[in-house]
Amino acid sequence: MNSQAYKNWHFNIDDAQIAWLHFDNANSKVNILHTTAVKELNDIVDEIKNNKPKALVILSDKSSAFCMGADIHEFADNTDLEAIKAHVMLGQSVMQKINDLPFPSIALIHGFCLGGGLELALACRYRIAQENALLGLPEVRLGIEPAWGGSVRLPSLIHPLKALNMILTGGMVKAILAKKMGLVDAVVPQRQRINAARYIALNGVKRHKQLGHFLASISFIRNIAAFFIHEQVLKKANPAHYPAPYQIIENWQKFGAKGSAAYQAEVDGFMHLLKGETAKNLVRIFLLQEELKSVAKKVDEKITRVHVIGAGTMGADIAIWCMQKGLNVSLQDKTVEALNHAMMRAHELCQDKRLLDKLIPDVNGDGIAHADLIIEAVFEDLTVKQAVFNEIKQKMKDNAIVASNTSSISLTEFPYPIVGIHFFNPVGKMQLVEVVHTDKLPAEITERALAFVHQIGKLPIKVKNCPGFLVNRTVAPYLFESVLMLEEGMPVEQLDKIATDFGMVMGPGMMVDLIGLDICLAAMKNLGATPPQILLNKIEHRHFGKKNGEGFYTYANGKPIKIKPNFDESVNNQEVIERILLPLINECVACLGEGIVDSTDIIDAALIFGAGFAPYIGGPMQYAKTIGYDKIFEKLKAYEQKYGSRFTPKPGWDLLIKL
């Protein structure tokens, strides 16, 4: 029997009277539960129910995933809140309809099963995961909460504390862990998935009731648990900036994990959060990330062999990252010690030891001849780098890409056109990579470099060559002003607290220590600034920052020793924020004016993912836009009067306001 024509779903009922409902979004490589797909699901579930099958199996026809969740675009423009609410309510009621089916329902999951996709799976009686499945409710990362029953059904299925942890972090769990948690009932290899679904459809599986559910049903116990969870979350997220986790905890505390009030609270919470600035900014940043990835997807040809020269801090980690992404990597250094150290680090970092075969130490640089991409990451010294590029030219194959990881040398100084592939430190943690191009570089090389960065799971942004590129250039004045304030006598703890209270991921004092005071000094000089005396003094005393245990903070075992100095109560926090942010925004505008990047969106993404700019604000340019570009411009002029020419508005403001 065949279903009537739906655009996103189709079903058939087999000889064993099992209905197989295939999710297959039209004109898309992945499945998304957009409005049409949810409406169709509502109808097709009715149709299947009328057929009275023995069981229902829901599966995806897409190769990479079960379902990526709801369509974020539909929430991005939150002007029609009534329409959004209607969509949310319909989604919730469809899930309930599946939940209430009089026969067993099974979600047969492979690949990503996220957000609304997992909520669909949770509405089923059973879940079978293929070994490659990844399950999660990432809504909190967008500043919202699950609203199709996920925040109610998950804590009623698995241990409530584990469920809350999953919802509050928005992280994904792999199939094996999901089985241990009771989130899925079976994990099977791909070849057995249909048989497994058929067996469970007809025979079911036993599930053990957990003591945690009984305890969590007692409101007094929920109150105590919620208090402790709240305290834990407070250490990570300021409720004024990130309200979603607190809303989720409150709903669970008040209503637990069953009953219509819990489902209603979920919808109300979602709508309330969606109206806030945080959700608006986080959703925008998410979509921006997707856009940057899609720009980089254009090139089909994949890089399979990479040769990295320089096995120091950056080169070793770049090589290890590429190896972990399945590429064949040769790693060259002039010292065997550096290579040994890199190989030991690879052993430490790499969980799948089979991948280690893909990383080959290469003292002589033999790998250059076979590589599709050669990345130079030797000392930041022009003469050394020039010699390396000359060696590469002799040995490389035609059509290979030659790239540099330099952070401050202009690409035009190199002997032939080279693309910048500028990773951030630490490579394993920082998502952003700047792909830097010059006028002489063929556009096709830039495209391939962008595609490579996307291929290895990083976020690429295209930047035109200039001193410091985009991120270092714009962060330098922010750090410079911060160091000046430290020189004026503000305790570093106070400065960092003001910045982190504002929402920066890390305070500027801590950031200077992490980068290294010597590196900051070099960067300031390269960018033409006169370094503050306090920085010179610290360096004279060999206080280089975290790396040698002394900087603006003192470190023990790699952690800053926390002291509570007397804060200067007369400090105006707003002025501190403006003093550090205005020069950064001014430099961003200068980059826009010079065409270093194409849009304010790219600047925001770069500063959030490359420098830890407060994500809930949506980036420095979004901050400026929210306050008003004209007001920021006026503030710059006022600060220029008070503090001098480092606040003078730079060319480029005319692109944003009428001057």
| Residues annotated catalytic, as ranges | 119, 139
DSSP 428: T
Span of 166-174, 216-224, 403-411, 563-571 interacting with ligand NAD by CB under 6 A: 403-411
Selected from 405, 446, 474, 600, the binder of ligand NAD by CB under 6 A is 405
Residue nearest ligand NAD, CB atom distance = 312
Minimum CB distance to ligand NAD smaller for 204 or for 312: 312
Distance of closest approach, residue 369 Cβ to ligand NAD, in angstroms:
16
Find out whether 377 and 309 touch, Cβ atoms under 8 Å: yes
Residue 517 Cβ vs ligand NAD, minimum distance, rounded to whole Å: 13
DSSP sequence for 138-196: GGGGGT----SSHHHHHHHHS-HHHHHHHHHH--EEEHHHHHHHTSSSEEE-GGGHHHH
Q: Is 63 exposed, middle or buried (0-12, 13-18, 19+ CB in 10 A)?
A: exposed
Burial 150-171 (b: 16+ CB within 10 A, else e): bbbbbbbbbbbebbbebbbbbe
Q: How far apart are CA 448 and CA 290, in angstroms?
A: 18
- For ligand NAD, which is the closer residue by CB, 225 or 339? 339
**Cα–Cα dist 659/655, whole Å:** 9
From candidates 175, 244, 377, 463, binder to ligand NAD by CB under 6 A: 377
Kindly state the smallest distance separating residue 178's Cβ from ligand NAD, in Å. Answer: 37
Residue 547 structure tokens: 């790396």
- The sign of the CA dihedral 297, 303, 307, 312 is positive
Among positions 408-427, residues that touch ligand NAD (CB under 6 A) are 423, 425
Whether the Cβ atoms of residue 351 and residue 288 lie closer than 8 Å to each other:
no
User: Over the range 213-235, which residues count as b (16 or more CB within 10 Å of their CB) and which as e?
Assistant: beebeeeeebeebbeebeeebee
Q: How far is the CB of 312 from ligand NAD (least distance, A)?
A: 2
Instruction: Say how far apart CA 144 and CA 242 lie, in whole Å.
Output: 9
Query: How far apart are CB 468 and ligand NAD at their closest, in Å?
Result: 11
Write the single-letter amino acid at 386.
Q
Q: Beta strand 419-423 with 401-404: parallel, antiparallel or unpaired? A: parallel
- Pick the closest to residue 407 from 322, 511, 519, 317 (CA basis): 519
CA–CA distance, 649 with 652 (Å, rounded to integer): 9
For position 407 contacting ligand NAD by CB under 6 A, the verdict is yes
Instruction: Report yes or no: 106 and 197 within 8 Å, Cβ to Cβ.
Output: yes
Minimal distance, residue 211 CB to ligand NAD, in Å = 49
Buried b (16+ CB within 10 A) or exposed e, 589-612: bbbbeeebbeebbbbbbbbbbbbb
Instruction: Return d(Cα 179, Cα 453) in angstroms, integer.
Output: 33
From residue 251 to residue 290, the character string flagging contacts with ligand NAD as x (rule: CB under 6 A) and all else as - is ----------------------------------------
x-marked contacts with ligand NAD along 298-337 as a string, rule CB under 6 A: -----------xxxxxxx----------------xxxx--
Pick the closest to residue 270 from 234, 246, 244, 250 (CA basis): 244
Q: Considering the complex, what minimum distance in angstroms separates the CB of residue 23 from ligand NAD? A: 43
Minimal distance, residue 527 CB to ligand NAD, in Å: 14
3-class secondary structure, 265:
helix
In whole angstroms, the minimum distance from the beta carbon of 475 to ligand NAD comes to 12
Residues between 592 and 621 with contacts to ligand NAD, criterion CB under 6 A: none
Which residue, 119 or 376, has its beta carbon nearer to ligand NAD?
A: 376
Among residues 407 and 586, whose Cβ is nearest to ligand NAD?
A: 407
Pick between residue 86 and residue 344 the one whose CB is nearest to ligand NAD: 344
| 15, burial (CB in 10 Å: exposed 0-12, middle 13-18, buried 19+) | exposed
Interaction pattern, residues 334-373, with ligand NAD; x per rule: CB under 6 A: xx--x-----------------------------------
380 binds ligand NAD (CB under 6 A): yes
Of 61 and 366, CB closest to ligand NAD: 366
| Residue 379 within binding range of ligand NAD, rule CB under 6 A | yes
Q: Which is nearer to ligand NAD, 311 or 401 (CB)?
A: 311
Q: Which is nearer to ligand NAD, 173 or 311 (CB)?
A: 311
Q: At 90, list the tokens.
A: 């319909």
| Residues 419, 395 contacting (CB under 8 angstroms) | no
Residues 13-52 that bind ligand NAD (CB under 6 A): none
Residue 119 C-alpha from the chain's centroid = 22
To the nearest whole angstrom, how small is the minimum distance from the Cβ of residue 392 to ligand NAD? 10
| Size of site (CB under 6 A) for ligand NAD | 23
Question: Which residue's CB is nearer to ligand NAD, number 141 or number 458?
Answer: 458
Which residue, 59 or 378, is less far from ligand NAD as judged by CB?
378
> What token pair was written down for 568?
């200067």
**Burial status of residue 643 (CB atoms within 10 A of its CB: 0-12, 13-18, 19 or more):** middle
Cβ(58)–Cβ(106) under 8 Å?
yes
Shorter beta-carbon distance to ligand NAD: residue 25 or 332: 332
| Minimum gap (Å) between residue 337 Cβ and ligand NAD | 8
The 106-145 contact track toward ligand NAD, x by CB under 6 A, reads ----------------------------------------
**How many CB atoms sit inside 10 A of residue 90's CB?**
16
Could you list the residues that contact ligand NAD (CB under 6 A)?
Answer: 309-315, 332-335, 338, 377-380, 384, 388, 405-407, 423, 425
